[in-house]
């Protein structure tokens, strides 16, 4: 029993010591848990094996200094014993200390002479202590360090009132602890709810906070702290140089380096926490796909929106096929087997492109046109055209030319038709005269029930006008080849009509609404010269001329 009493005294002392040392008041911790937690807290700079010795001597000294009354001292000790007996005997194992170390403690309590085995337990802690000559044969190794630094567990960031700081320093110089009356501590209840949050949980929270703090360039994100820290280090270095004080390292915030995920997850789950944190930054906005129709359209019915989704879905599928084809080409046209596979893929994709929508009652070309109404669909066609055999490419080109006004209208939001121009102009060069005429005729013909020719709309759009010019230019190249063989044929007259009408339309259009073509073929003006009168040519020159000038310059 007596041994346990001694043990309890240790714990009480330790409790009081911790309370006093912190500089702020603590609710006194449970006696049992105090010892356990003290043994767990490495950061507390308290070696639990060590502290009781130190404490015992410290407190003795302090009590003598402060209370000066042995009667009070013994009264205090007795009350501790009283407390102790009410708590009963506790097994040493509960306290988290081995029986061996407990034994040491008991021994040192009774005989404050140093024990030979003590230094082994102490490890590296051998800073001098300020507890003075009063203590019988103090082994400096026994009386360790922490008290000196403990009350001033302040980081360089703690800003104390100058008076407060002065007082603290004085106390430090005296006997190391701020003077708070110990008597007040004892009557308070031990805190049996302490450490509900375990160290593991605290570390987890700190870890999460550190992850949130990490950044690629701290000098940018955390400018003020970095600057401050630099100034501080510089100041310390200067002081060290001047020999004013020995260098001690201020702690710096070091965030863990974690590879940032390339994949954007719209919902971030932090393990161990309840709930989700929805992540949405300026680099990764929440909307992932372009499935939201733009506001300029008329109200879509449910059927229309489902149709639109169906088109988007088709486009995605086709894009995957296209990527396969492109990869196939990357590897190189090595074996015939590969090229067969390649061409079959291309054929499949072409069929998919031409495929009908959900209702097979729709007109031909409709699937194709629907795909072209979406920006991504245009990109798809633009990338596919180089792979297509001539006939299929030509059919696509003619389909586009046929429905040019429709496409132009649909392109208002995206403005993406331009990307089709390059591949289409390559395709145009392979057109035969007949095919060319077919396309052009569609543009200049007056549709039934409509007072406007398609060409009018086309001329106002950049893509449209560029395509038109490209077609005309190609026709002009073909004509000498064609006409040299036969006499003026129906094709030839059609051609002339087309050219004249086109010239007339261009002349009609106010210069402002005439769109600027992406490329201006050099043989257009001569073409018009052949077919139309001088006055008209002059007008054309005026309109097209200024345009041409811009391009050439």
Partner 1 sequence: MNYMPGTASLIEDIDKKHLVLLRDGRTLIGFLRSIDQFANLVLHQTVERIHVGKKYGDIPRGIFVVRGENVVLLGEIDLEKESDTPLQQVSIEEILEEQRAEQQAKLEAEKLKVQALKDRGLSIPRADTLDEY
Please tell me the distance from the alpha carbon of residue 343 to that of residue 388, in angstroms, as a whole number: 9
Distance CA 78, CA 553 (A): 105
Q: Of the candidates 86, 155, 246, 360, which one interacts with partner 1 according to CB under 8 A?
A: 155
Report the residue from 3, 32, 44, 422 that binds partner 1 according to the rule CB under 8 A.
Answer: 44
The residues in 270-329 that bind partner 1, with binding defined as CB under 8 A, are: 270, 273
Indicate whether 205 belongs to the interface with partner 1 (CB under 8 A). yes
User: Considering only 209-217, 306-314, 453-461, 526-534, which stretch makes contact with partner 1 by CB under 8 A?
Assistant: 209-217
Q: Residue 411, SS3?
A: coil
Q: Choose between 194 and 457: whose C-beta lies nearer to partner 1.
A: 194
Report the distance separating Cα 111 and Cα 208, nearest Å. Answer: 48
Q: Which is nearer to partner 1, 33 or 55 (CB)?
A: 33
465: which strand partners? none
CB within 8 A of 445, min separation 6: which ones? 453, 454
The residue assigned the tokens 């003075």 is 132
Measured from the CB atom, the residue of 157 and 546 that comes closer to partner 1 is 157
- 202 sits near partner 1 (criterion: CB under 8 A): yes
Residue 210 near partner 1 by CB under 8 A: yes
What track of x and - describes contact with partner 1 for positions 158 through 177 (by CB under 8 A)? Answer: --------------------
Among 251, 267, 302, 481, which residue interacts with partner 1 (rule: CB under 8 A)?
251
Helix extents (H) in 155-287: 162-174, 199-213, 218-221, 223-241
The SS3 call for residue 461 is: coil
By CB under 8 A, tell whether 109 contacts partner 1: no
Q: Does the footprint of partner 1 cover residue 27 (CB under 8 A)?
A: yes
Alpha-carbon span 51 to 93, nearest angstrom: 18
CB contact set of 339 (below 8 Å; sequence gap of 6+): 333
Nearer to partner 1, 38 or 444 (CB): 38
- Residue in the structure block whose two tokens are 């140093």: 114
Is 213 an interacting residue with respect to partner 1 (CB under 8 A)?
yes
Among 180, 438, 477, 496, which residue interacts with partner 1 (rule: CB under 8 A)?
180
Cα–Cα distance measured from residue 508 to residue 457, given in angstroms and rounded to the nearest whole number: 13
Residues 420 and 382 sit within 8 Å (Cβ to Cβ) = yes
Q: Is 113 helix (H, G, I), strand (E, B) or coil?
A: coil
Identify which range of 90-98, 196-204, 346-354, 356-364 contacts partner 1 by CB under 8 A.
Answer: 196-204
482 binds partner 1 (CB under 8 A): no
Measured from the CB of residue 225, what is the shortest distance to partner 1 in angstroms? 5
Minimum separation from the CB atom of position 193 to partner 1 (A)? 6
Q: How far is the CB of 17 from partner 1 (least distance, A)?
A: 17
> Which residue, 198 or 538, is less far from partner 1 as judged by CB?
198
CB of 288 to partner 1, least distance (A): 26
Region binding partner 1 by CB under 8 A among candidate stretches 151-159, 333-341, 361-369, 452-460: 151-159
Nearer of residues 45 and 505 to partner 1, judged by Cβ: 45
Region of 86-94, 119-127, 155-163, 355-363 interacting with partner 1 (CB under 8 A): 155-163
Q: What are φ and ψ of residue 267, in 5° steps?
A: -125, 125
Q: Are 109 and 9 in contact (CB under 8 A)?
A: yes
Cα-based torsion angle of the residue sequence 24, 25, 31, 33 in order, rounded to the nearest 10 degrees: -60
CA distance 107 to 98: 14
Q: Which is nearer to partner 1, 135 or 232 (CB)?
A: 232
CB within 8 A of 318, min separation 6: which ones?
Answer: 349, 352, 353, 371, 380
| Cβ proximity to partner 1, 103 vs 207, nearer residue | 207
Decide if residue 406 touches partner 1 (CB under 8 A).
Answer: no
Question: In the bound complex, what is the minimum distance in angstroms from residue 322's beta carbon to partner 1?
Answer: 44
Report if residue 197 touches partner 1, rule: CB under 8 A: yes
CB of 45 to partner 1, least distance (A): 8
Report CA-CA distances (Å) from 129 to 19, 51, 123, 146, 179: 19, 13, 16, 8, 18
**Distance of alpha carbon 61 from alpha carbon 285, whole angstroms:** 66
- Does residue 184 bind partner 1 (CB under 8 A)? yes
Nearest distance in Å: CB 30, partner 1: 11
According to DSSP, residue 198 is labeled -
Q: Which stretch binds partner 1 (CB under 8 A): 136-144, 199-207, 258-266, 372-380?
A: 199-207
For the packed helices 462-483 and 418-428, what is the interaxial angle rounded to 10 degrees?
0
Query: Are 453 and 460 within 8 A, CB to CB?
Result: no
Query: 217 to 246, contacts with partner 1 by CB under 8 A?
Result: 225, 228-229
- Return residues touching partner 1 (CB under 8 A): 24-27, 43-44, 153, 155-157, 180, 184, 191, 193-197, 201-202, 205-206, 208-210, 212-213, 225, 228-229, 250-253, 270, 273
């Amino acid at each position: 029993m007596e041994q346990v009493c001694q043990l309890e005294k240790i714990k009480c002392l330790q409790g009081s010591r911790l309370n006093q040392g912190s500089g702020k008041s603590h609710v006194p911790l449970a006696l049992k848990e105090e010892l356990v937690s003290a043994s767990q807290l490495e950061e507390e700079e308290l070696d639990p094996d060590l502290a009781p010795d130190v404490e015992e001597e410290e407190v003795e000294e302090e009590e003598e200094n402060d209370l000066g009354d042995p009667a009070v001292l013994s009264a205090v000790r007795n009350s501790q014993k009283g407390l102790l007996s009410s708590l009963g005997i506790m097994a040493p194992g509960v306290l988290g200390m081995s029986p061996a170390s407990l034994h040491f403690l008991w021994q040192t309590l009774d005989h404050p002479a140093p024990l030979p085995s003590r230094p082994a337990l102490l490890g590296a802690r051998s800073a001098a202590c300020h507890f003075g000559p009063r203590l019988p044969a103090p082994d400096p190794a026994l009386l360790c360090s922490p008290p000196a630094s403990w009350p001033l567990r302040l980081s360089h960031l703690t800003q104390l009132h100058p008076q407060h700081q002065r007082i603290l320093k004085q106390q430090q110089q005296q006997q190391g602890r701020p003077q708070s009356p110990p008597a007040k501590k004892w009557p308070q209840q031990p805190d049996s709810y302490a450490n509900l949050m375990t160290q593991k949980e605290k570390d987890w929270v700190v870890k999460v906070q550190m992850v949130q703090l990490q950044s690629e360039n701290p000098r940018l994100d955390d400018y003020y702290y970095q600057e401050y820290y630099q100034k501080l280090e510089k100041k310390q270095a200067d002081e060290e140089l001047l020999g004013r004080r020995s260098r001690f390292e201020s702690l710096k915030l070091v965030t863990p380096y974690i590879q940032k995920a390339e994949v954007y997850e719209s919902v971030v789950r932090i393990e161990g926490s309840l709930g989700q944190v929805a992540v949405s930054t300026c680099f990764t906005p929440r909307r992932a796909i372009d499935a939201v129709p733009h506001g300029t359209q008329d109200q879509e019915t449910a059927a229309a929106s489902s149709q639109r989704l169906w088109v988007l879905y088709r486009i995605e599928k086709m894009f995957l096929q296209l990527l396969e084809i492109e990869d196939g080409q990357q590897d190189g046209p090595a074996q015939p087997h590969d090229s067969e596979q390649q061409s079959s893929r291309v054929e499949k994709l072409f069929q998919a492109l031409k495929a009908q929508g959900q209702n097979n009652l729709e007109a031909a070309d409709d699937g194709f046109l629907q795909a072209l109404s979406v920006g991504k669909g245009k990109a798809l066609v633009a990338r596919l055209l180089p792979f297509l055999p001539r006939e299929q490419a030509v059919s696509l080109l003619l389909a586009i030319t046929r429905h040019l006004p429709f496409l132009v209208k649909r392109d208002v939001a995206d403005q993406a038709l331009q990307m089709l121009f390059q591949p289409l102009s390559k395709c145009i060069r392979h057109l035969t005269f007949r095919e060319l005429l077919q396309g052009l005729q569609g543009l200049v013909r007056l549709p039934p029930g409509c007072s406007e020719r398609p060409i009018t709309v086309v001329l106002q759009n950049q893509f449209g006008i560029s395509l038109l010019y490209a077609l005309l230019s190609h026709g002009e190249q073909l004509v000498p080849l064609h006409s040299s063989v036969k006499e003026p044929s129906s094709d030839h007259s059609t051609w002339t009509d087309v050219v004249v009408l086109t010239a007339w339309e261009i002349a009609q259009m106010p210069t402002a609404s005439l769109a600027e073509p992406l490329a201006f073929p050099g043989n257009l003006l001569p073409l018009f010269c052949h077919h139309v009168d001088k006055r008209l040519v002059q007008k054309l020159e005026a309109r097209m001329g200024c345009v041409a000038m811009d391009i050439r310059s």
